[in-house]
Chain A
């Protein structure tokens, strides 16, 4: 099978030095890693689609409170949504730093992504804790079950992303995240942005639409 070399980050064949490229490519000229990861993200759409469907189907079906309108704190959730959105911006800036071989810039922005991700998880922990004190537990009502499963799985994905990006941050700080490894950062970025777009949907369908 013909092999082509990928210009790191572009996802397409280019004139990059093969000796510095650790990835293998197919006749399409695309990175196997990237095609595989986009396929994974497509399957994740179905995963979150099932959780979101379940929440939507049982929306308004709880027989006893607390109901969403009683406990949702929209200003707080807006703040956490803003933090997650800005972490996506930091992610592309970090990738830009890696691709340009700017170690300081890459480390700074990857650090921002990790910190913002951790802040988002802190907000979620606070929210869950508050809801439990209000009497909404996983087995309390269909609202409790569907809400915790949906947002909990999203939170688990954010946690995985924070751990993954922390490892890249450590590599960057040690000077090991060179431009030829930009594809690794781009794939981690795809995951992080996916987590962000899932939250964009959850924020509107769960929090803003009663």
Chain B
């Protein structure tokens, strides 16, 4: 199914059909419902699963709704530059303050 919709999207050049957008919207709604179900069910690996689902939703919105999948790679490049830097910053600070022993964390001031 995904291959068909992918081809549909390309068939129209930079933009997909309204039906394709409805399908993406439906998938996003289902993924959100799964996230909330995971929150209440508390299965093993809950947090990694939530992060993966969130990343999938994120990728679907930028790829299909923001047309990054079909547009020039230059747009993807300028966006990813900021995104990767931001992800590195968040990850570095979380590791620094939540995983390293307190005596190794620099104190400012």
Contacts and interface: CB of A to CB of B under 8 A. Distances in A.
A52 B102 CA distance: 21
Given A53-B93, A193-B61, A204-B35, A85 B66 contact: no
A193 B97 CA distance: 31
Nearest to B22: A89
Given A35-B75, A200-B58, A204-B54, A193 B66 contact: yes
A96 B15 contact: yes
A208 B78 contact: no
A49 B93 CA distance: 11
B58 A85 contact: no
Interface residues of A, number: 53
Contacts of A196: 61, 65
B58 A30 contact: no
Contacts of A12: 14, 71-72
A5 to B, nearest CB: 14
B82 interface: yes
Given A30-B72, A43-B82, A197 B21 contact: no
A119 interface: no
Contacts of A204: 35, 50-51, 53-54
Contacts of B29: 82, 85-86
B78 A78 contact: no
A197 to B, nearest CB: 5
A63 interface: no
A7 B71 CA distance: 12
Main secondary structure on B side of the interface with A: helix
Given A52-B90, A57-B94, A86-B25, A42 B79 contact: yes
A110 interface: no
Contacts of B53: 204
Contacts of B74: 28, 30, 35, 38
A78 B80 CA distance: 28
A203 B50 CA distance: 10
B108 interface: no
22 contacts: A7-B13, A9-B67, A11-B14, A11-B72, A30-B72, A30-B74, A35-B75, A43-B82, A45-B83, A46-B82, A49-B86, A49-B89, A56-B90, A74-B39, A74-B40, A89-B25, A92-B21, A190-B66, A193-B62, A203-B35, A203-B54, A204-B54
Interface of B: 13-15, 18, 21-22, 24-25, 28-29, 32, 35-36, 38-40, 47, 50-51, 53-54, 57-58, 61-62, 64-67, 71-72, 74-75, 78-83, 85-87, 89-90, 93-94, 96-98
Given A39-B78, A46-B85, A197-B61, 20 more contacts: A7-B14, A10-B14, A11-B71, A11-B72, A30-B74, A34-B75, A42-B80, A42-B83, A49-B87, A74-B39, A89-B24, A89-B25, A96-B15, A196-B65, A197-B58, A203-B54, A204-B35, A204-B51, A208-B36, A209-B47
